């Protein structure tokens, strides 16, 4: 019974993740600098380029440059190591978290929260106003071996994002519009995400949404961690940014030491199996 319940919970959580984190690359082409810093002043920096359904990030890790390229139309992701002129390749799954984790991504605008999610059933319960915005209320049912769990979501009619979620364990997630603010010379919307769990303090995350780019350009997390995009330059991006440079060799060997998140996992060439290295 415990195994069945945990399986249902996992399916339900994946369904929620698909709504909250599932994403496709932003519509507007632009370049920007990426910054992340914590309460003690440590910082990491990189570059972001978003083209037509293609994305590229350039980061330095332990003194080593790592380039990541995503081609949404082809469903391919590459990781490049310029110092060795080598690269690895894999296919992106339908709901692969790699796209959702890509800076500059926007939420998937599916017909309902269960689209593309096997094992989940959605029932529309009507429309309600949540914090001044109209939302569609959905009941989501996850089933496994005759066991079921239910959650409720209110999806914003305009933005197609969850304004409120209620989970079976009593956890709630709700986002609220705070104010219009100017950030790095661009006008944006400040939003607050409040997460509550029984017996625990509230968690609050702030996000600045750029309506022109249709994505979040700054996020502030508990503990003082901040992630943001600066020096945004809107315009068409060169095609060469999203291609493998001439002279690079494709490898399938274990991930080079020092690559963030992979810890020596072997990555299969052109594999849709996300069990390779999920931190691409």
Looking at residue 261, its pLDDT comes to: 39
Answer yes or no: are the C-beta atoms of 21 and 103 closer than 8 Å: no
Q: Is the pLDDT of residue 100 over 90?
A: no
Is 171 within the bounds of a domain? Answer: yes
Number of domains in the chain: 1
Is 255 within the bounds of a domain? Answer: no
32 token code pair: 């920007």
Is 34 within the bounds of a domain? Answer: yes
The model's pLDDT over 215-233, given as tens digits with 9 standing for 90+, comes to 888 999 998 999 999 999 9
Q: Domain range for residue 203? A: 2-250
Q: Which of 69-73, 183-187, 212-216, 272-276 has the weakest average pLDDT?
A: 272-276
Looking at residue 25, its pLDDT comes to: 57
Q: With cut-offs at 50, 70 and 90, classify the pLDDT of residue 91.
A: confident
Rounded mean pLDDT, 106-116: 63
DSSP 22: -
Looking at residue 110, its pLDDT comes to: 56
The model's pLDDT over 7-19, given as tens digits with 9 standing for 90+, comes to 444 444 444 433 3
Rounded mean pLDDT, 245-253: 88
Q: With cut-offs at 50, 70 and 90, classify the pLDDT of residue 141.
A: confident
Rounded mean pLDDT, 35-45: 80
Percentage of residues in the chain having pLDDT higher than 70: 73
Q: Is the pLDDT of residue 177 over 70?
A: yes
Is 26 within the bounds of a domain? Answer: yes
Backbone angles phi, psi at 98, to 5 degrees: -60, -40
DSSP 192-250: EEEEE-TTS--EEEEEEEETTTTEEEEEE-TTS-EEEEEEEEESPPPGGGGSPPTT-EE
33 token code pair: 């600098």
Looking at residue 12, its pLDDT comes to: 45
Single pTM value for the model: 0.67
Is 219 within the bounds of a domain? Answer: yes
Largest distance between two CA atoms of the chain? 57
Is 268 within the bounds of a domain? Answer: no
In 3-state terms, what secondary structure has residue 91?
Answer: strand
In 3-state terms, what secondary structure has residue 97?
Answer: helix
Is 280 within the bounds of a domain? Answer: no
Rounded mean pLDDT, 39-53: 84
Q: What angle do CA 117, 118, 119 make, to 5 degrees?
A: 115
Answer yes or no: are the C-beta atoms of 6 and 149 closer than 8 Å: no
CA–CA separation, 29 and 213 (whole Å): 9
Is 142 within the bounds of a domain? Answer: yes
Q: Is the pLDDT of residue 259 over 90?
A: no
Looking at residue 105, its pLDDT comes to: 52
Q: Which of 122-131, 147-156, 242-251 has the weakest average pLDDT?
A: 147-156
């Amino acid at each position: 019974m415990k195994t069945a319940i945990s399986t249902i919970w996992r399916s339900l959580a994946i369904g929620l993740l698909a709504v909250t984190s599932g994403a496709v690359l932003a519509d507007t082409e632009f370049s920007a600098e990426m910054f992340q810093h914590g309460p003690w002043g440590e910082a990491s920096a990189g570059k972001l380029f978003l083209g037509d359904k293609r994305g590229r990030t350039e980061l330095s890790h332990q003194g080593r440059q790592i380039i990541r390229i995503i081609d949404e139309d082809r469903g391919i992701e590459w990781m490049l190591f310029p110092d060795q002129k080598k690269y690895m390749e894999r296919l992106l799954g339908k709901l692969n978290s790699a796209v959702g984790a890509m800076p500059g991504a926007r939420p998937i605008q599916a017909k309902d929260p269960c689209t593309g999610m096997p094992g989940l059933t959605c029932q529309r319960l009507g429309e309600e106003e949540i914090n001044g915005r109209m939302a569609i209320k959905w009941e989501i049912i996850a089933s496994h071996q005759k066991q079921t769990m239910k959650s409720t979501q209110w999806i914003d009619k305009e933005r197609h994002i969850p304004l409120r979620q209620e989970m079976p364990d009593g956890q709630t997630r709700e986002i609220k519009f705070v104010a219009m603010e100017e950030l790095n010379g661009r006008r944006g919307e400040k939003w607050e995400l409040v997460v509550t769990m029984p017996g625990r303090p509230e968690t609050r995350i702030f996000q600045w949404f750029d309506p022109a780019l249709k994505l979040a350009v700054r996020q502030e997390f508990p503990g003082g961690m901040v992630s943001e995009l600066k020096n945004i330059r809107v315009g068409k991006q060169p095609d060469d940014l999203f291609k493998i440079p001439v002279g690079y060799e494709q490898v399938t060997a274990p991930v080079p030491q020092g690559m963030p998140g992979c810890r020596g996992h072997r990555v299969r060439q052109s594999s849709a199996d996300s069990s390779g290295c999920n931190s691409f």
